[in-house]
Homo-oligomer: A and B are copies of this chain.
């Protein structure tokens, strides 16, 4: 069907080896031969086929990022960093979105064994260590982002610490009855953040009240949605004894929570988590994750591992940085809002 190296060789009256050389090393080819080859290749619309090259070279020049959901600020920023970090490398990046409905580990495994890519960036996918060990059998270069396993290079953020600091800040600001807006508890970051929240309360002699942990109904994207935050805050505001302040699992939920407060004409101090782009405009105090840098570092690690497969496994844990804005210092009061 398509034109192959043989067609070009025939027309240009050279061997296929020469054609191949023109399209590759570009060395050891006479100027005349090169020109002829290029000419007929252009005429016939020839281009090397990735599959055949992949097989012959045993390299695919491909890196696959495996992600749980698209369109989540965390992911986007991370991938931005990844892409910037690989501009000089001769690799393509493709993204594979596992379907959350189905067997996630099965999907990841499927990709790993297909072996289509030379290396894998696995982002925000959480599994028991046992599973990761199993995947180690595929001998594929892997870097984990937002997850940890002793077997692979990894980059993550200390969610426990971040939640702890956020909550402690609220306590130090004089609040006693501090609520949390959580999300799907099966998600590692969520359970970590709940843990940090609880610890901070305990360390400061405050009672942990499970009824003060709210979640919306919408569990799309593990609950990391505006809607979930909106719903959660609505519940919070309906409690008889209103909390003084709230630590919110993510900025995107905080956005919904703020809307809910506006609708209810009640505002309580709020701290988010992530520092997405809109947070600055919202005046949202938040725990910033260095998402871009995480992506950049991740691809660096992966590229390194590709060149030196036997180098030591390395783990990087970032500490979230508190960004203080206005949302955390608002006094409790009623107010009129528009829209």
Contact = CB atoms under 8 A, between A and B. Distances in A.
Interface residues of A, number: 63
A282 to B, nearest CB: 7
A337 B283 CA distance: 14
Contacts of A138: 45
A338 interface: yes
A255 B226 CA distance: 12
Contacts of A55: 49, 51-52, 54-55
Given A70-B70, A75-B71, A256 B283 contact: no
Contacts of A27: none
B79 A97 contact: yes
A326 interface: yes
A115 B75 contact: no
A278 B227 contact: yes
Nearest to A70: B76
Interface in A325-339: 326-327, 330, 335-339
A115 to B, nearest CB: 5
Interface string A131-162: 00000011100000000000000000000000
Nearest to A62: B116
Given A70-B75, A97-B83, A277 B227 contact: yes
A50 interface: yes
B49 A339 contact: no
Interface in A62-85: 62, 64, 70-73, 75-76, 79, 83
A71 to B, nearest CB: 4
Contact of A282 (B49, B64, B326, B339): B339
A303 interface: no
Contact of A49 (B71, B115, B259, B283): B115
Given A337-B338, A339-B326, A71 B76 contact: yes
A332 B92 CA distance: 52
A238 interface: no
Contact of A113 (B47, B60, B92, B230): B47
15 contacts: A47-B114, A51-B55, A52-B55, A62-B116, A71-B73, A95-B96, A226-B278, A227-B277, A227-B281, A256-B281, A262-B339, A283-B339, A330-B338, A336-B336, A337-B337
Given A1-B58, A47-B115, A70-B79, 10 more contacts: A2-B115, A50-B115, A62-B116, A70-B71, A71-B71, A71-B72, A87-B99, A267-B339, A327-B339, A330-B339
